[in-house]
Structure 1
Amino acid sequence: MTKQNRTGFPFLEALLASPAPVVMEVKRRDAHGYDMLGGRTPAAIIGAYETAGAPCVSVVTGRWFGGSPALLRDVAALTGLPILQKDFITRKDQIHTARELGASAVLLTAALLPASSIRTLVTECLRTGLTPFVEITQESELDSLHHPQECVIAVNNKDIKTRERGAGDLGRSLDLLPALQAAGTACPVSASGIDSPETAAGLLDAGFRGLLVGTSLLRTGSPAQWVDAMAGARRGLAVR
């Protein structure tokens, strides 16, 4: 695996171009503190994701999940896939650090940021060449979003107020999808709580252009088989 040069906004471009638009996540622990690596190295996980055809990778650097900036740096050294840094980004300097560490996109959590901060951080991402991955949980959080057509807008199916320890509410994604599409994003995403290939297929069939999946892929023995099962489920939905 070799690192490649990143130009333009490769995270958004790769997700939109992929026939299996799943952002595959690397995280050390789940929301309950359970080990997600199972003795595997990041290199082994990234290799399995590349074999599965991942268009992009998410790296959780937040302390809740046992992450660190070093994990982002290590994954960026392993792959040329565009990388999303998942953490609580609140300042411009964190955006520049993310790029230096190898990220192509950063998570901006609307529920944690004032409207003025969202505008500032989205603008700074775009100036820096990073895709803003804006995460929402309710429609009102779209009101102050600038440049939505250049953002990935994701519905978090879990609740950060409980540190994402619940099962997730996929109905939230389906309820908010029309608002995401009306906002102008080219890439509405459903994130977290996607527990099976069949669930993933249903969300893509509903109109999502991307998914973010962590725990389900890390627990499966073969991400490639997971993606193949998703593709089969999508074909089944298409012939109904």
Structure 2
Amino acid sequence: MTFTRALTAAARPVIMEVKRRDASGTDLMGARTVAEVVAAYEEAGAPCISVVTGRWFGGSEDLLRQVAARTGLPLLRKDFVTSRRQLARTRELGASAVLLTVKVLPADVLARLVDHALELGLTPFVEVADAAEAAAVPRADACVVAVNNKDIATRERLPGDLERSAALLPVVRGTGARCAVSASGITDPLDAARLLDTGFEGLLVGTGLLRVSHPKRWCAAVDRARAGRRQAGRP
């Protein structure tokens, strides 16, 4: 199953992330092994898993390799991918989707990378942070378009602005994107429920899940919050 199909078919479309450190350098794994984190995510019903290979967060290609060896779920590689060679390497390591960040890629380079990713069978997971970036996504209907609620200019060290996602969703829809994701800064199950009910096809949650003892309980809280919103007639 493709990354996009797995996400959009999920009853609870939360992409659960594996990363070693948060933006401040704090260890997120503790005494847990990669295998234990992956097993907890599978138990929680993750449709897809994101793996941060970027050095800001203590990542490496080996981390992606370890996760791929322990799960059959579709994997997203999160890093600053800027070349066709990195795309090929991403596929070799077992990922089925790849992060492409509009802010760091010239328009012509982004277009070529989106095309090549699709040729390789990789889903382009294109990250945007404002309306101009959203409008610049090429072939948006074939991509996952993800609104980053944090700023890479500050290495994502500041709190996320979840209202950015709410504000940009109509713009993302206007690009023709069929899979919109709200990413980063999501820690409260109530916020997760609200974003999903707003119309996002998925969420990407990393630090928020790695800081809880039981991801399955966090996910159950999201489900309860969504049920409560429906009962209250809230969109």
TM-score calculated relative to the size of structure 1: 0.95
**Could you tell me the percent identity over the aligned residues?**
57
**Structure 1 residue matching 2:72: 3-state secondary structure:** coil
Match of residue 38, structure 2, among 41, 46, 55: 46
Per the TM alignment, residue 196 of structure 1 is displaced from its structure 2 partner at its CA by 1.1
| RMSD, matched Cα | 0.8
1:126 aligns with 2:141: no
- 1:91 partner amino acid: S
- Residue 110 of structure 1 corresponds to 102
1:81 to 49, 73, 93: 73
Alignment correspondent of 1:160: 152
Unmatched tracts of structure 1, length 5 or more: 1-6
Q: CA deviation at 1:139?
A: 1.0
Query: The residue matched to 2:210 in structure 1 has which SS?
Result: helix
Per-residue deviation, residues 130-171 of structure 1 (Å, max 9, x unmatched): 000000001111333221111000000001000000111011
SS of 1:217's partner is helix
Match in the other structure for 1:58: 50
What corresponds to 2:141 in structure 1?
149
Matched, 1:221 2:213: yes
Q: Is 1:199 the equivalent of 2:186?
A: no
What is the SS of the residue equivalent to 2:62?
Answer: helix
Unaligned runs of 5+ in 2: none
Q: What is the identity, as a one-letter code, of the residue corresponding to 1:126? A: L
TM-score (norm 2): 0.97
Q: Does residue 138 of the first structure (1) align with residue 130 of the second (2)?
A: yes
The one-letter amino acid of 1:183's match is: T
Shift of 1:185: 1.2
Q: State the partner residue of 2:28.
A: 36
Name the CA distance, whole Å, in 2 between partners of 1:170 and 1:228: 21
Distance in 2 separating the partners of 1:153 and 1:144: 11
| Aligned length, in residue pairs | 232
What letter corresponds to residue 116 of structure 1 in structure 2?
D
1:197–1:227 contact (8 Å) kept in structure 2: yes
Amino acid at match of 2:172: L
Query: Aligned partner of 1:102: which letter?
Result: G
Whether the aligned pair in 2 keeps the contact of 1:119 and 1:144 (CA below 8 Å) is no
Q: Which runs of 4+ in 1 moved over 4 A?
A: none
CA deviation vs aligned residue, 1:54-82 (integer Å, no higher than 9, x gap)? 00000000000000001001100000000
The residue type equivalent to 2:28 in the other structure is: M
**What residue identity is the alignment partner of 2:16?**
M
Instruction: Work out whether residues 118 and 144 of structure 1, in 8 Å CA contact, stay in contact via their aligned partners in 2.
Output: no
Partner of 1:167, secondary structure, is coil
